[in-house]
């Protein structure tokens, strides 16, 4: 009986929160908010916040054309694999003190799991056989290389900071990082972590492929690159994956740098005099709402504002930017953390 | 329920693919002006797509020259169903001042079914938006069927 | 001892290969007989080693075997000895598995070649040479085996000597390989002059405490000698040429087996013979050379246009990982390094076999000419992708598990030693990994996906035998990735323990108490425990991913995801690729240089590397000399 219950519980995690339903709604809303904010920045009315949902459902109703040159199975399966992999990553990112699957993956694993969605779109694009996809995937790969170095540095800096505070020397576990912050305040409040947080914020638009780092999907130059041959539901899945990726990266930022809020949530619940299961459920709910709001805030700051204020960079500029400016910021944090500042 | 949702969404998220079939660039500029802050067609969900595979509405400008004709037809055929074809300006509709030229193969309606014609040289942005709005209605009908 | 006693198994494992080589050349005129003989000898070799797993790996026994029962007398070991501890058996198993799979693959792969009898003879000689090297307990026999494997490998590199560059590659390999062998010989002689013994265990006991200029010089010579066998920087260009020219089944042996013999030699040399890994400078040497190999070779791979040359550079890059991890001198580092060595044999073998499959069916490995093969060779494509994901460290395949341990080990070492340099190594390792991925994206795009050239319209899938061989490796990639704990507990941890149990190694050979009597303080065998810092549960992850994928697929299928519009029998414009309305055959857009954005920023580095790798054997011989001079300088100053 208890096995069935716990199986149902895990299924609930996967399908509802923090799995598919949360990802779907959260990601799409983030995307809508992003488009709205960009429009506002440009003094436009902008699309409704629900626009990504309309786009998604419209695409679901369209015809799927498989080009004659494409490898059909890979072409159709790649988007699904990417989507599933992204949702699984979201499951491993703790929502403050709540983590659905704790102790299963640490930040290095997350770093690698984040490659899978990028890889799925690359393989899918390659399988379409389009020459535009060939150009797009090479740019996507270079963008991934570009983002990898600063991301690695940021993650190592966080691991070192939390590790030396806990006395273990190193800490790669996201759950422990979240727990540490809940007890001792957010990492972003430390001077040494501010450059790393900044670097991570700059990495987010690159990882998601948002403007101005969207050379890989430049719609005016290379017809959206790897997506050039996709139509209908597979395209909808890619659009959804893109939206979820925004949610994943922003919530990873929250988990790494803003985990201290988790402690506040517990305090609030204690003040309200709630205990036991009710507090747990309410805590998760509250955590989810707070997480989403924070994600939205981060999206606005690091995706929308940057989008509205800049023009698209060329691919070698993207690479140079990440390996110099952003990496320098992250490295600064790592060195500071190394010497215990 | 999903069918209804999809049909509703079809009208709210029309993506455009723009084909220049020998246009003088007047209409092309006007089409872009529709997306500028003043007219902001994105509030209705319009978006310029990079590839015909993503498009719902194909906007053709220009008198359809003999050189461009096979390319226009190929690109249009690559747009997935349901789709709408909108001609913009007088050229693709009638040939405009280029009518009768040895190098003009138009009008476009000789070759494919055109859903909406927006006349004018160049049409005003308001007229373009009106034509596109009409096209979205047609899209919804096609989707509903 | 009866003939079937397990103490005989190591020598049986070696002799079955050599005997097979002998019999193939005698009786192997008929194809079936030849294949059967080769198959029996490689399976027997594998079987003998597998029979030792329980005793050596789990019970921790060290098998000391004196040929002809000539045990040491008067304190000197004169007889020829084999000594199999967990480290030897670990490498022996790797070799036996790789040889076995490569042999199965060869049956179909070599079926169109001439002189196949000679091929199998040389193949088994090479295998026997490497097997003898890792199981030997005698420094001079190690040299003999090095010679056998070098000459077999040179001949096999030039086996398809009608192919462009085969003879050139073999010549280069011969020149630099012989320099390496000579170094080993001279090093051996110098040690013999000092210690009056060639037995490895006795040498280990005598040399470490009694260092003088001669032994220091010997160290440098042996180190360079084994480095040429492992193809680490600066010997990497040889590997590229050799792999490019050799048949794919031989590439598997060169990358999976031959380089391992070099690694094995380096580990034995540093941890056992000179017992100098406690020195920070020695750790620096291995980690530095390892990181250099890791990074230089991955960037060189990005610049390649030939499938097999590209794989060759990656091969050395992965060897760099192993050497780096081994150089950390921590339990976790050794364990991670050995794990990666094992994975390297598996996934690199798979990739070379996939390259061989492509070559077999299309006749070329030029990335510029290939494309779109996934439609014609779907199974090979899937198998290749498994190998590519493994080497790039994509979870849950085995490359990830071992790289993940290497990152932890290097970072942990940085924290423990307080040396920020090791941190740099972690970063290089992580970045190298993503560059590896980039270069395999290039391969998959330009060989298996993209547009199918008209000349390959009629290409077919490879025969079942070749797919079966690749399937074995692919299965191993998944299994060793999914169950990292089994691998570490039963394979790498015992081997890592053996690396640190020098005293036990010496005593097993020379009799209990010998190490204590000769060495002032024989190193005590440490308990191999380490805690992994991170957490990674591949099986559960895969389960969750499967559930998620199932959910997505069900929803997708319910939404008629599979109702797609395929091209009807007649061609139509609708299903053509979009190319601005043009017919796609006129497409002028393409990824000429897929990583331009990356290379442009590194153009000075790539230009420098391009000039440096001149392809002239004189230059490479000069590099070897310079490396030897540097190693001499290093050992004279540091040791």
What average pLDDT score do residues C469-490 get? Answer: 85
Task: Name the residue with higher pLDDT: A9 or C22.
Answer: C22
pLDDT on residue C521? 63
Does the bond joining B107 to the residue before it have cis omega, within 30 degrees of 0? yes
Chain-centroid distance, C-alpha A74: 24
For residue A302, the enclosing domain spans 28-338
- Using CB atoms, list chains with 3+ pairs below 8 Å to chain C: A, B
Query: With bands split at pLDDT 50, 70 and 90, how would you rate the model's confidence at A274?
Result: low
Tokens of A81: 């694999």
The predicted structure's pLDDT at residue C588: 61
Q: How many angstroms separate the CA atoms of A112 and A238, rounded?
A: 19
Question: Of the ranges A194-203, B92-101, C599-608, which is most confident?
Answer: A194-203
Report, as an integer, the average pLDDT of C81-110.
87
Distance from CA of C440 to the nearest CA of B (A): 27
Interface of B with C in 37-96 (CB under 8 A): 51-53, 68, 70-75, 77-78, 80
Q: Which of residues 115-134 of A touch B (CB under 8 A)?
A: 132
If you average pLDDT over residues B17-37, what whole number do you get? 86
Number of other CB atoms surrounding residue A11 within 10 Å: 13
Higher pLDDT, residue C13 or C583: C13
Highest mean pLDDT: which of A57-61, C585-589, C633-637?
C633-637
Task: Give the residue from chain B lying closest to C573, CA to CA.
Answer: B74
pLDDT tier for residue C522 given thresholds of 50, 70 and 90: low
Inter-chain CB proximity C574 and B51 less than 8 Å: no
Q: Which of residues 375-394 of C touch A (CB under 8 A)?
A: 375, 378, 381, 385, 389, 392-394
Which helix (H) or strand (E) covers residue B17, if one does?
Answer: strand B15-20
Would the CB atoms of C576 and B78 count as touching at under 8 Å? Answer: yes
Residue C464 reports pLDDT greater than 70? yes
Cβ contacts of A130 on chain C, cutoff 8 Å: 577-579
* Distance separating alpha carbons of residues C507 and C77, to the nearest angstrom: 13
Q: The tokens of A82 are what?
A: 């990417």
* pLDDT tier for residue C526 given thresholds of 50, 70 and 90: low
What DSSP letter does each residue of C92-160 carry, written as one string?
HHHHHHHHHHHHHHHHHHGGGSS-HHHHHHHHHHHHHHHHHHHHB-BHHHHHHHHHHHHHHHHHHHTSS
Each domain of chain B, given as residue ranges in start order, spans: 11-144
b/e string for C367-401 if b means 16 or more Cβ within 10 A? beebbbbbbbbebbbbbbbbbbbbbbbbbbbbbbb
The answer to whether C253 and C126 are in contact (CB under 8 A) is yes
Nearest-CA distance B23 → chain C (Å): 16
Measured CA to CA, the distance from residue A192 to residue B29 in angstroms comes to 50
Higher-pLDDT residue of B31 and A225 is B31
From the list C572, C578, C582, the residue facing B52 with the nearest CB is: C578
Give residue A314's pLDDT. Answer: 83
User: Is residue A6 a part of any domain in this protein?
Assistant: no
- Angle among Cα A253, A255, A261 to the nearest 5 degrees reads 110
The CA distance from C138 to C124, in Å, is 22
Cis bond before residue C47 (omega within 30° of 0): no
**Among A129-133, B47-51, B127-131, C634-638, which stretch is predicted with the lowest mean pLDDT?**
A129-133
**B50, closest residue in chain C (CA to CA):** C580
Contact flag C581-B53 (C-beta cutoff 8 Å): no
**pLDDT value for C480:** 87
pLDDT at position C229: 86
- Region A90-112: what's the mean pLDDT? 77
Which of the four pLDDT bands, split at 50, 70 and 90, describes residue C533? low
Q: Which of A34, A38, A47, A64 to mutate to test the interface with B (most CBs of B within 10 A)?
A: A47
Mean pLDDT of the C38-44 span = 90
Residue A259, pLDDT > 70, answer: yes
Nearest to B75 among C559, C565, C581 (CB): C581
Whether residue B80 and residue C565 make contact (CB cut-off 8 A), yes or no, is: yes
* Least confident among A292-306, A327-341, C30-44: A292-306
Mean predicted confidence (pLDDT) in A130-139? 81
pLDDT at C81: 85
Sign of the alpha-carbon torsion through A100, A105, A110, A115: negative
Mean pLDDT of chain C: 82
Asked if residue C304 has pLDDT above 70, the reply is yes
Cβ-nearest to A219 among B37, B43, B49: B49
- C230-239: per-residue pLDDT in tens? 888 788 888 8
Domain range summary for chain C, segments of one domain joined by +: 279-500
Task: Determine the pLDDT at residue B23.
Answer: 85
Residue in C162, C471, C169 with CA at minimum distance from that of residue C306:
C169
DSSP label of A17:
S
Where helices occur in A185-341 by DSSP H, the ranges are 194-208, 219-222, 232-257, 260-271, 276-299, 305-309, 315-321, 327-338
Q: Considering only CB atoms, which chain C residues are within 8 Å of A81?
A: 549
Q: Reply yes or no: is the peptide bond before residue C568 cis, omega within 30 of 0.
A: no
Amino acid C185: pLDDT = 92
Determine, yes or no, domain membership for A8.
no
Cis peptide bond upstream of C234, omega within 30: yes
Give the best-scoring range by mean pLDDT among A251-260, C156-165, C177-186.
Answer: C177-186
Contact A156 C563 (CB under 8 A): no
Selected for mutation to probe chain B from A46, A58, A239 (highest B CB count within 10 Å) is A58
Integer Cα distance of C390 and C405 in angstroms: 14
pLDDT of B85 over the 80 cut: yes
At A32 the three-state DSSP class reads: helix
- Any chains having at least 3 CB pairs less than 8 A from chain B are A, C
Classify residue A15: in a domain, yes or no.
Answer: no
Digit-coded pLDDT (tens) for C559-591:
776 677 777 766 777 777 777 667 766 666 555
Q: Which of A280, A99, A282 is nearest to A177 (CA)?
A: A99
* CB-CB neighbors (< 8 A) of B7 in chain A: 61
Taking the Cβ of residue A44 and every Cβ of chain B, the question of whether any pair is shorter than 8 Å is answered with yes
Once rounded to an integer, what is the mean pLDDT over residues A10-26? 78
pLDDT at A230: 86
Yes or no, beta carbons of A43 and B49 under 8 Å apart: no
pLDDT at C394 over 60: yes
Q: Is the peptide bond before A43 cis (omega within 30 degrees of 0)?
A: no
Q: What is the rounded average pLDDT of the residues C84-108?
A: 88
The answer to whether residue A11 scores a pLDDT higher than 80 is: no
Lowest-confidence segment of A141-145, B128-132, C572-576 by average pLDDT: C572-576
The answer to whether the CB atoms of A122 and C591 lie below 8 A apart is no
Residues in CB range of C566: below 8 A, 6 or more apart: A66, A72, C575
B51/A223 Cβ within 8 A: yes
Predicted local distance difference test score (pLDDT) of residue C186:
92
Q: What is the mean pLDDT of residues C202-229?
A: 85
Which of C559, C574, C583 is nearest residue B77 as measured by Cβ atoms? C574
Render pLDDT for C112-146 as a digit per residue (tens, 0 to 9): 777 788 888 888 998 999 999 888 888 888 899 98
| CA-CA-CA-CA torsion sign (A282, A287, A293, A296) | negative
Is A1 inside a domain boundary?
A: no
> Which residues does chain C have within 8 Å of residue B80's beta carbon, measured at their own beta carbons?
565
Its ipTM equals: 0.86
- Residues C468-472 have a mean pLDDT of 86
Using CA atoms, how far residue B47 sits from A24, B30, B34, C384, C604, in Å, is: 22, 15, 10, 39, 42
- Torsions phi, psi for A39 (to 5 deg): -60, -45
Tokens of B69: 């004709």
Establish if A193 belongs to a structural domain: yes
pLDDT at C432 over 60: yes
Mean pLDDT of C207-215: 81
* Mean pLDDT value across chain A: 82
Lowest mean pLDDT among A195-209, C50-64, C391-405, C446-460: C446-460
Both tokens assigned to C597? 């954005």
Q: Which positions 100-139 of B are in contact with C (Cβ < 8 Å)? A: none
Cα distance between residue B61 and residue A179, in whole Å = 60
Residue A16 is assigned to a structural domain of this protein: no
Per-residue pLDDT for A286 more than 80? no
pLDDT of residue A193: 84
Output the pLDDT for position B104.
87
Better-scored residue on pLDDT, B87 or A266: B87
More confident residue, B24 or C518: B24
Contact list, A109 vs chain C (CB under 8 Å): 395, 404, 534-536, 541
Multiple choice CATH, B11-144, 3.40.50.12280, 3.30.413.10, 3.40.35.10, 3.40.50.2300 = 3.40.50.12280
- Average pLDDT of the segment spanning A187-216: 84
């Amino acid at each position: 009986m208890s096995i069935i219950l716990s199986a149902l519980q895990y299924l609930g995690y996967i399908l509802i929160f923090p799995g598919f339903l949360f990802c779907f709604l959260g990601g799409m809303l983030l995307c809508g908010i992003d488009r709205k904010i960009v429009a506002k920045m440009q003094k436009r009315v902008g699309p409704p916040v629900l626009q990504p949902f309309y786009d998604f459902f419209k695409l679901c109703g369209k015809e799927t054309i498989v080009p004659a040159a494409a490898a059909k199975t890979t072409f159709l399966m790649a988007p699904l694999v990417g989507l599933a992999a992204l949702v699984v990553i979201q499951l491993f990112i703790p929502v403050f003190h709540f983590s659905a699957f704790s102790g299963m993956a640490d930040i290095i694993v997350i770093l690698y799991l984040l490659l899978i969605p990028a890889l799925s779109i690359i393989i899918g694009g390659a399988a379409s056989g389009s020459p535009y996809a060939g150009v797009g995937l090479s740019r996507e790969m270079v963008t991934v290389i570009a983002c990898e170095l600063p991301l690695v540095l940021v993650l190592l800096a966080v691991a070192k900071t939390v590790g030396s505070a806990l006395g273990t020397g190193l800490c790669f576990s996201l759950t422990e990082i979240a727990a540490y912050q809940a007890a001792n305040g957010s990492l972003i409040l430390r001077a040494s972590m501010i450059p790393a947080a900044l670097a991570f914020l700059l990495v987010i638009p690159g990882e998601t492929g948002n403007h101005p780092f969207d050379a890989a999907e430049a719609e005016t130059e290379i017809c959206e690159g790897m997506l050039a041959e996709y139509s209908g539901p597979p395209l909808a899945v890619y659009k959804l994956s893109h939206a979820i990726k925004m949610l994943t990266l922003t919530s990873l930022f929250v988990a790494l740098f803003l985990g201290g809020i988790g402690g506040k949530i517990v305090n609030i619940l204690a003040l309200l005099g709630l205990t036991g299961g009710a507090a747990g459920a309410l805590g998760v709910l509250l955590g989810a709402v707070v997480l989403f709001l924070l994600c939205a805030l981060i999206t606005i700051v690091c995706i929308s504002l940057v989008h509205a204020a800049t023009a698209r960079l060329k691919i070698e500029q993207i690479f140079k930017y990440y390996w110099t400016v952003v990496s320098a910021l992250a490295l600064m944090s790592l060195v500071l953390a190394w010497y215990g500042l | 329920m999903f069918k209804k949702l999809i049909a509703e969404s079809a009208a709210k998220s029309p993506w455009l693919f723009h084909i220049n079939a020998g246009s003088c660039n007047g209409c092309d500029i006007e089409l872009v002006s529709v997306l500028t802050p003043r007219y902001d067609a994105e509030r209705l969900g319009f978006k310029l797509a990079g590839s015909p595979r993503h498009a719902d509405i194909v906007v053709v400008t220009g008198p359809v020259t003999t050189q461009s004709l096979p390319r226009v037809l190929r690109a249009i055929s690559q747009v997935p169903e349901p789709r709408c074809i909108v001609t913009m300006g007088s050229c693709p509709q009638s040939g405009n001042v280029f009518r009768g030229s040895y190098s003009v193969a138009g009008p476009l309606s000789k070759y494919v079914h055109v859903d909406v014609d927006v006349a004018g040289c160049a049409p005003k942005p308001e007229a373009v938006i009106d034509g596109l709005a009409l096209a979205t209605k047609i899209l919804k009908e096609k989707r509903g069927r | 001892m009866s003939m079937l006693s397990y103490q005989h198994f190591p020598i049986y494992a070696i002799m079955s290969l050599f005997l097979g080589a002998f019999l193939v050349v005698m009786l192997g005129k008929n194809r079936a007989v030849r294949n059967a003989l080769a198959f029996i000898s490689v399976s027997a070799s594998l079987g003998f080693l597998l029979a030792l797993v329980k005793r050596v790996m789990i019970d921790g026994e060290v098998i000391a075997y004196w040929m002809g029962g000539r045990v040491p007398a008067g304190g000197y070991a004169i007889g020829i000895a084999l000594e199999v501890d967990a480290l030897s058996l670990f490498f022996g198993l790797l070799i036996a598995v790789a040889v076995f799979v490569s042999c199965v693959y060869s049956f179909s792969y070599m079926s169109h070649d001439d002189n196949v009898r000679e091929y199998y003879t040389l193949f088994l000689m090479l295998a026997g040479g490497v097997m003898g090297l890792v199981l030997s307990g005698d420094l001079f026999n190690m040299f003999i085996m090095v010679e056998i494997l070098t000459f077999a490998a040179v001949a096999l590199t030039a086996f398809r000597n009608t192919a462009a560059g085969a003879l050139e590659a073999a010549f280069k390999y011969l020149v630099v390989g012989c320099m390496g062998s000579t170094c080993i010989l001279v090093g051996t002689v110098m040690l013999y002059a000092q210690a009056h013994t060639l037995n490895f265990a006795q040498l280990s006991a005598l040399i470490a405490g009694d260092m003088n200029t001669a032994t220091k010089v010997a160290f440098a010579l042996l180190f360079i000698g084994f480095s040429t066998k492992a193809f680490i920087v600066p010997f990497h260009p040889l590997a590229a040429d050799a792999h490019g020219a050799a048949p794919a089944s031989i590439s598997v042996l060169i990358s999976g087996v031959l380089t391992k013999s070099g690694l094995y030699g380096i580990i034995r040399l540093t941890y056992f013979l000179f017992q100098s890994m406690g020195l920070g400078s020695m750790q620096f040497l291995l980690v530095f050379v390892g990181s250099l190999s890791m990074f230089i070779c991955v960037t060189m791979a990005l610049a390649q246009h030939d499938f097999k040359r590209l794989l060759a550079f990656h091969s050395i890059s992965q060897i760099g990982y192993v050497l780096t991890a081994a150089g950390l001198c921590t339990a976790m580092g050794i364990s991670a390094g050995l794990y990666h060595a094992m994975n390297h044999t598996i996934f690199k073998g798979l990739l070379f076999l996939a390259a061989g499959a492509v070559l077999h069916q299309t006749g070329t490995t030029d990335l510029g000419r290939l494309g779109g093969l996934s439609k014609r060779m779907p199974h090979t494509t899937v198998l290749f992708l498994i190998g590519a994901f493994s080497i790039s460290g994509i979870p849950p395949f085995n490359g990830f598990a071992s790289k993940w341990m290497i990152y932890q080990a290097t970072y942990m070492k940085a924290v423990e030693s307080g040396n920020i340099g090791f941190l740099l190594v972690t970063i290089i390792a992580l970045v190298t990994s993503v560059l590896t991925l980039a270069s395999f994206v290039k391969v998959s795009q330009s060989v298996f996906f993209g547009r199918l050239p008209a000349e390959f319209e009629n290409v077919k899938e490879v025969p079942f035998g070749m797919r079966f061989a690749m399937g074995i490796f692919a299965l191993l990639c998944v299994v060793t990735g999914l169950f990292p704990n089994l691998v570490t507990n039963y394979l790498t941890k015992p081997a890592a323990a053996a690396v640190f149990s020098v005293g036990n190694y010496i005593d097993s050979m020379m009799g209990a108490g010998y190490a204590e009597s000769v060495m002032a303080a024989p190193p005590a065998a440490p308990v191999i425990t380490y805690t992994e810092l991170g957490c990674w549960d591949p099986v559960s992850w895969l389960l969750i991913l499967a559930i998620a994928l199932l959910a997505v697929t069900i929803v997708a299928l319910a939404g008629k995801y599979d109702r797609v519009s395929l091209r009807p029998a007649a061609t139509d414009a609708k299903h053509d690729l979009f190319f601005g309305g043009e017919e796609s055959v006129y497409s002028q857009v393409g990824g000429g240089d897929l990583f331009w954005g990356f290379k442009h920023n590194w153009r000075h580095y790539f230009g420098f590397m391009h000039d440096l790798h001149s392809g002239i054997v004189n230059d490479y011989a000069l590099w070897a000399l310079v490396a030897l001079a540097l190693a001499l300088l290093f050992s004279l100053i540091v040791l």
